[in-house]
Structure 1
Amino acid sequence: MGHVSTHVLDTAAGRPAAGVAITLRRLTADGPGELLARAVTNADGRTDGPLLEGAALTAGTYELLFQVGAYFARSGAAGGSGDGEPPFLDAVPVRFGVSDPDGRYHVPLLITPWSYATYRGS
């Protein structure tokens, strides 16, 4: 059964990023797309389950939006918004395509207050 999952790692601090708010949307040609899921990462930096699975996962373009600015502000990290300045990174969008609805789409996010990286995980 296909699914979309994610996790967030704070590579600057060397730990999972707990408390990051995430939304998942299916994008459409007209408008902001369809909101499919909202979640917050747990102590392990993961969501408690897949964000989307089974028949709800169809071929198309999706976007995960990670609210990392609020996470860094709470953690007091330099470069976060805890110092009264706007954070360098606030909301990080990751757009990805699903070609096989039966596939596993694990989309990790590695973050620091100044950079991020992603990849298709397993």
Structure 2
Amino acid sequence: MGRLTTHVLDTAKGCPAAGIRIELHRFGNGHDDLVAEAVTNADGRTDAPMLEGASFKPGEYQLVFHAGDYFDAIGAKLPDPKFLDQVVIRFGISDGQAHYHVPLLLSPFGYSTYRGS
């Protein structure tokens, strides 16, 4: 069964990023539909996959990580406006039976991602 998971690591602090709100959007037929929302736990992961089962379908998706709110919550001293507020990762799912893992490695001034396992 296919599924989509994610996690967030705060590379500036060297630990999981807890409390980050994440939105998942699906694109198709000219629509941008919000299909899931979650908040990272103490391990920087969501408690359940962002997408799985019958709702896991090939297509174009977008994860929106609310990084600015996270930086505010941990008391990061950042300029106004912040360099990063929302981190948007747009990606495609081509195999409806595969596990797609899209992690975010985050700091106040940069980020990276990859397709993990």
Shorter-chain TM-score range: over 0.9
More strand per residue: 1 or 2? 2
Give TM-score, length-normalised by structure 2: 0.95
Instruction: Give the gaps of 5 or more residues in structure 2.
Output: none
The CA deviation at 1:30 is: 1.5
Shift of 1:29: 4.5
Q: Structure 2 CA distance, aligned partners of 1:30 and 1:90? A: 26
Residue of structure 2 equivalent to 1:64: 63
Match of 1:72, SS state, is: helix
- Tell me by how many angstroms 1:55 deviates: 1.7
What RMSD over aligned residues (CA atoms) do the two structures have, in Å? Answer: 1.1
TM-score normalised to structure 1 length: 0.92
Identity %: 56
2:111 aligns to what? Answer: 116
Task: Work out the CA distance in 2 between the residues paired with 1:74 and 1:38.
Answer: 19
Which residue number in structure 2 is paired with residue 36 of structure 1?
A: 35
Name the counterpart of 2:54: 55
DSSP-derived class of the 2:28 partner = coil
- How many residue pairs get matched? 117
Please give the alpha-carbon distance, in whole angstroms, between the structure 2 residues aligned to 1:27 and 1:87.
Answer: 28
What secondary structure is seen at the aligned counterpart in 2 of 1:77? coil
Task: Tell me by how many angstroms 1:78 deviates.
Answer: 3.2
Deviations 1:60-81 (A, max 9, x none): 10000000001011112233xx
104, 107, 110: which one pairs with 2:102?
A: 107
1:27-69 CA-to-partner distances (Å, cap 9, x unmatched) read 12424x1111000000000000101101211111000000000
CA contact (8 A) 1:78 1:113 kept: no
Mind listing any 5+ residue stretches in structure 1 that lack a counterpart? none
What residue is the counterpart of 1:6 in the other structure?
6
Amino acid at match of 1:15: C
- 1:17 aligns with 17
Aligned to 2:85: 90
